[in-house]
Amino acid sequence: MTLVQQLASSTATTIHNAAHAAVTAVEVGSTVHDFVTVTGQPAKPVPTGSVTVDWFLNGTCAGTAAASSSTLGPLDASGRLDATGFAFTVNSAGQRGFIAHYLGDATYAASDGSCETLTVVDANIQLTPPTGTNPAGTDHVLTCHVNVNDSTGSVSAPAGTACTGSIQNGPGSFVGSNQCTTVGTTGDCQLTITSSVTGTTTISASTDVVVGGLTLRRQTGDIHAGDSANATKDWTPTTTTQLAALLTAVTGVGPGTSLADKVTQIQAYVAANDPSNACKALNDFLNQVKAQAGKKQITSAQAASFTAQAQAVKTTLGC
C-alpha cells in the first residue's frame, strides 16, 4: 500500500438568481441557488467528485444550517457545479447565507468555502384614504407613502423618493403634477385630483425605489404583500349641477313659469352663498309641487321626480 498525500483544494461559491446571474442582493420573492467552483493546484488534475451546500437564515452562516443539501455532483470538467436543485425562494427581507463543502477525491483533500452572504430587500407603497366622497369640482388630496427595507428593518423611504399617480378608471384628472416626491423622513407625499363630473374614480400609485442598490417597482393594487389597494373616489353631484338639471326638468311644466321661477330663485341664493334662504326657497318649491300635484296641474310622476331632486339638493346643501 502507498500512502498518497492529497493536495489542497479550495472551494468558492457564488450566489445565482433564477437567471443564473451572480447576485449579492435580491428583492423579496426571488429564488436563489449556489454556484460552486472547486480549484486544485497548477499543472495538476482538475478536482472531481461532489459537494454539499448549506443554507442559513442569517448572513454569517452562524449556528445550525436551516437546510443542508444531499451530495451534489459530479463537478464538471472545470471543477464547477450549479446547485439548481438546492434552490430557495426568499419571502422576507433580511440576510441569508450559503456555504459549500467539497468532499475531496483521490487527488485532492476536502475543503470548505467561505460563507456567501445574500441580502434580501423589500419595499411597499400605500395610497390613502382608500375611499372617499367629494362633490364634483372640488379638490381631493391623496397621500402616497413608501416604505423600504434594506434587510435591517422597514422604514419610511428616503426623502425625494418619487411616487407617480395614475387614474386607472373613471373621470377626473390630477391637479398639477401626477408625481410627487417624499418629504423628509415621512415617506409621504401628496397628490391632488379633481373631477368636474360625477362618477367613481380609481387611482393607483407606483414607485421605483432604490433599496440596497436594487430598483424595486411597487404599485398599489398589485399582489405584492404590503402594497395597498388602489384608492377610489366617489364624486357626488354639486348643487350647481343638481339645480341645472332640476331647472331643465321643470321648464314648461305646470301652469305659467312658477316652478322654473322658484328654481331660478334657489340658484340665485346658492350663487350668493346664502344656504339659509336657498333652503327656504327649496321648501317653497316643494310646497308648490305639492299644490300643483293636488290640482292635477302636474302628474304624480312629475311631482315625485321634482320632489326627489329638490330633496337631493337639500341634502347637498345641508338643509
Q: Does 20 bind Zn ion (CB under 5 A)?
A: yes
Nearer Cβ to Zn ion (21/183): 21
The minimum distance between CB 105 and Zn ion, in angstroms, equals 23
Rounded-to-integer distance, Cα 182 and Cα 179, Å: 10
For Zn ion, how many residues bind (rule: CB under 5 A)?
Answer: 4
Among 14, 16, 54, 150, which residue sits at the site for Zn ion (rule: CB under 5 A)? 16
Q: Which stretch binds Zn ion (CB under 5 A): 10-18, 166-174, 176-184, 284-292?
A: 10-18
The minimum distance between CB 23 and Zn ion, in angstroms, equals 10
Q: Does 295 bind Zn ion (CB under 5 A)?
A: no
Kindly tell me the burial class for residue 160, based on how many C-beta atoms sit within 10 Å of its own C-beta (0-12, 13-18, 19 or more): exposed
Among 23, 59, 82, 171, which residue sits at the site for Zn ion (rule: CB under 5 A)? 82
**For residues 29-68, which are near Zn ion according to CB under 5 A?**
35
Q: Which stretch binds Zn ion (CB under 5 A): 72-80, 82-90, 239-247, 288-296?
A: 82-90
Rounded-to-integer distance, Cα 164 and Cα 6, Å: 62
The minimum distance between CB 25 and Zn ion, in angstroms, equals 17
Q: Does 21 bind Zn ion (CB under 5 A)?
A: no
Cβ-defined contacts of 294-301 (< 8 Å, 24+): 297/254, 297/255, 298/253, 298/254
**For residues 252-271, which are near Zn ion according to CB under 5 A?**
none
Residues that bind Zn ion (CB under 5 A): 16, 20, 35, 82
